[in-house]
Structure formats: C-alpha cells, structure tokens
Structure 1
C-alpha cells in the first residue's frame, strides 16, 4: 500500500512528541497549554460555529403534517 511521505513524517513527529511525555495525555495537554500561553504562539484556533436552522416541510398530499410537526426535515447550514 502506498504511503504519503508527508503523512508518514507527521506521524513520526507526533510519536516523538508523545514519547517526550511517556505518552501521557495530561502531560502533553499541559505542555500544549504552556506553549500556547506565550504571546503570539496560538497552537490551535477554530472558527466560530454557525447556527443550524432546521425547517419543517410538510409532505405533499398530507396537509395535517405541517401542523403536527411530523413532516420531513431539511437542514440549512453545516452540521456541527
């Protein structure tokens, strides 16, 4: 099976980093938080989540479905 050299390098670096902390997730987390506390050294940044808007759509031929909310559901926006 073909292996992407970039993925292989990233995995090797991850293993080296984890080995520095004996693969202890708490120690790794503390190190990340310590390194991120340095001004200008944000390690992780995530965009703000958008709201999901869900609309009830009545099924064709069943006018009562729209009133009781049992129609099909379509969502707008991304799922989070």
Structure 2
C-alpha cells in the first residue's frame, strides 16, 4: 500500500513532540498555551454557532 511521505513525516514529528512530554496531554496543552502566549501572531476566536436541527426523511 502506498504511503504519503508528507503524512508519514507529519506523524513522526507529532510523535516526537508528544514524546517530549511522555504523551501527557495536560503537559502538551500547557506547552501549546505557552507557545501561543509568546507568539506575536494575532489569534482569532469565533463565537459558537447555534446547532441546526435537520429533519429526517422517512
């Protein structure tokens, strides 16, 4: 089966990053928050939208 080399590299990098924190999601989340605070980039947050109910067709 063919594997996309970009996907493979991305997964490897993600695993290396997670390994720095022993795959602890709380520690990873804290690191991401710290990186965002240091970043000079503007962060955008959108208001949540109302859920739309869809009628089922019989």
Greater strand fraction, Structure 1 or Structure 2? 1
Give me the TM-score of the superposition, normalised by structure 2. 0.70
1:24-53 alpha-carbon deviations (Å, 9 max, x no partner): 0000000000000114246x7566555566
Residue ranges of structure 1 left out of the alignment (5+ in a row):
56-72, 75-80
Task: Work out the CA distance in 2 between the residues paired with 1:54 and 1:19.
Answer: 41
Of structures 1 and 2, the one with the larger relative CO (CA 8 A, separation 6+) is 1
Greater helix fraction, Structure 1 or Structure 2? 2
Seen in structure 2, the aligned counterparts of structure 1 residues 2 and 48 have a Cα distance that, compared at 3 Å, is farther
Residue ranges of structure 2 left out of the alignment (5+ in a row):
none
Could you list the structure 1 runs, at least 4 aligned residues long, displaced by more than 3 angstroms after superposition: 44-55
| Number of positions where the alignment pairs a residue of Structure 1 with one of Structure 2 | 56
Give me the TM-score of the superposition, normalised by structure 1. 0.53
